[in-house]
């Protein structure tokens, strides 16, 4: 249950209600909001005079539920917004990882050439082997900040663990929480205390319900700026790296009020399939696409097999434009 309390309620009474119904509390300048487990369906009559409005739910997708707030949340990224009433689709491209000054400047040039506004690259890489490239760390964040200043691009970069979450929040315009960190409660709680947009990727072993509940940790921490990113789940199929759950995306769009991104690159795992899949993603009428590109994919230090080279991306980009037009979307 979500409860909007009225302004004249005392702090001690708020605490009393929160304790009684095991509610999480969000305090904003305008109001105090309590969110109880969805199993709570009514509140004792003696508290009714302190309640402005309330909503009941049949599961714990609450703040992210269209029943609570039907409009897709508008989120500002750089000088643009996604969600809300606008029809923008943010095309976020960049290499899997920041590897060198030369590489990231080449990427920035491509983005500028294409008239796009966002660069995405990880500097703290959550790898499946401790012997693989782990990212450039703070040095990579500094390079991204340099690119932002020089090329006026918004920076999306990933937080891998709590040891550097504050630095990533400081440097990034959008903080990416990767699939493997979807359940990192330290990161979720910390990101809930920031106001910066959070790009939350779906854990590849989690259901849509669990995915949105992870977003609820950030939302209930007080950060309304959450974007959901479907990037493929693990199934019995082995010919692609993961299986992109477009049905799940249809669900997210129908029932949640958060902007949705799709990531064809990590789902497919092989560059040959990315353009077709990216076009299918565009046709899903989503708020953003995440596509990995690299000046020379064969020497990439992570996710080499799935990254498009710059020419391949330009060709793909030309074919995304008419799809966007048909569904009345502006690629930004």
- The phi, psi pair for 305, rounded to 5°, reads -70, -20
Residue 201 is a binding residue for ligand PEP (CB under 6 A): yes
Distances (CA, A) of 11 to 17, 19, 52, 99, 221: 10, 12, 16, 50, 18
Q: How far apart are CA 250 and CA 157, in angstroms?
A: 26
Nearest residue to Mn ion, scored by beta-carbon proximity: 96
Q: Which of 183, 227, 185, 179 is nearest to 204 (CA)?
A: 179
Residue 122 is a binding residue for ligand PEP (CB under 6 A): yes
Minimal distance in Å, beta carbon 254 to ligand PEP?
23
| 178 binding partner (options ligand PEP, Mn ion, none; Cβ < 5 to 8 Å by kind) | ligand PEP
Residue 179 is a binding residue for ligand PEP (CB under 6 A): yes
Kindly state the DSSP code that residue 258 receives in the 8-state scheme.
S
- Nearer of residues 65 and 157 to ligand PEP, judged by Cβ: 157
Residue 231 is a binding residue for ligand PEP (CB under 6 A): yes
- Nearer of residues 266 and 329 to ligand PEP, judged by Cβ: 266
Minimal distance in Å, beta carbon 216 to ligand PEP?
19
Do residues 23 and 39 make contact, with C-beta atoms less than 8 angstroms apart? no
Residue 263 is a binding residue for Mn ion (CB under 5 A): no
- Nearer of residues 231 and 253 to ligand PEP, judged by Cβ: 231
Options 192, 227, 303, 317; binder of Mn ion; rule CB under 5 A: 303
> Structure tokens of 135?
């990212």
First to last CA, the chain: 37
Binding pattern for the stretch 77-116 against Mn ion, x by CB under 5 A and - elsewhere: -------------------x--------------------
Sign of the dihedral defined by the CA atoms of residues 102, 103, 107, 110, in that order:
positive
For the beta carbon of residue 112, count every other beta carbon within 10 angstroms: 15
- Nearer of residues 83 and 178 to ligand PEP, judged by Cβ: 178
Distances (CA, A) of 56 to 12, 161, 260, 319: 24, 34, 24, 44
Residue 178 is a binding residue for ligand PEP (CB under 6 A): yes
Minimal distance in Å, beta carbon 279 to ligand PEP?
20
Q: Interface residues with ligand PEP (CB under 6 A)?
A: 96, 122, 178-180, 201, 231, 266
């Amino acid at each position: 249950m979500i409860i909007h309390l009225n302004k004249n309620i005392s702090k001690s009474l708020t605490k009393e209600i929160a304790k009684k119904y095991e509610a999480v509390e969000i305090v904003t300048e305008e109001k105090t909001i309590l969110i109880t487990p969805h199993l709570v369906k009514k509140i004792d009559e003696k508290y009714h005079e302190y309640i402005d409005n309330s909503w009941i739910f049949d599961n714990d997708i609450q703040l992210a539920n269209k029943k609570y707030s039907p409009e897709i949340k508008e989120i500002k990224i750089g000088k643009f917004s996604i969600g809300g009433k606008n029809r923008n689709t943010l095309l976020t491209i960049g290499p899997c990882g920041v590897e060198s000054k030369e590489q990231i400047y080449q990427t920035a040039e491509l983005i500028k050439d294409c008239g796009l506004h966002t660069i995405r690259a990880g500097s703290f890489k959550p790898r499946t082997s401790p012997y693989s490239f782990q990212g450039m760390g703070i040095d990579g964040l500094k390079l991204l900040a340099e690119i932002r200043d020089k090329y006026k691009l918004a920076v999306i970069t990933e937080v891998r663990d709590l040891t550097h979450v504050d630095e990533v929040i400081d440097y990034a315009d959008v903080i990416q929480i990767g699939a493997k960190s979807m359940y990192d409660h330290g990161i979720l709680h910390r990101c809930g205390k920031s106001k910066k947009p959070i790009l939350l990727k779906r854990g590849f072993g989690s259901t849509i319900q669990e995915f949105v509940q992870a977003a609820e940790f950030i939302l209930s921490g007080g950060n309304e700026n959450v974007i959901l990113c479907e990037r493929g789940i693990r199934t019995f199929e082995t010919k692609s790296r993961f299986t992109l759950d477009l049905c799940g995306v249809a669900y997210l769009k129908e029932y949640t009020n958060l902007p949705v991104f799709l990531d064809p690159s990590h789902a497919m795992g092989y560059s040959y399939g990315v353009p077709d899949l990216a076009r299918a993603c565009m046709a899903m009428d989503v708020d953003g696409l995440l596509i990995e590109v690299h000046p020379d994919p064969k020497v990439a230090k992570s996710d080499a097999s799935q990254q498009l080279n710059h020419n391949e991306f330009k060709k793909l980009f030309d074919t995304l434009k008419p799809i966007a037009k048909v569904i009345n979307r502006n690629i930004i």
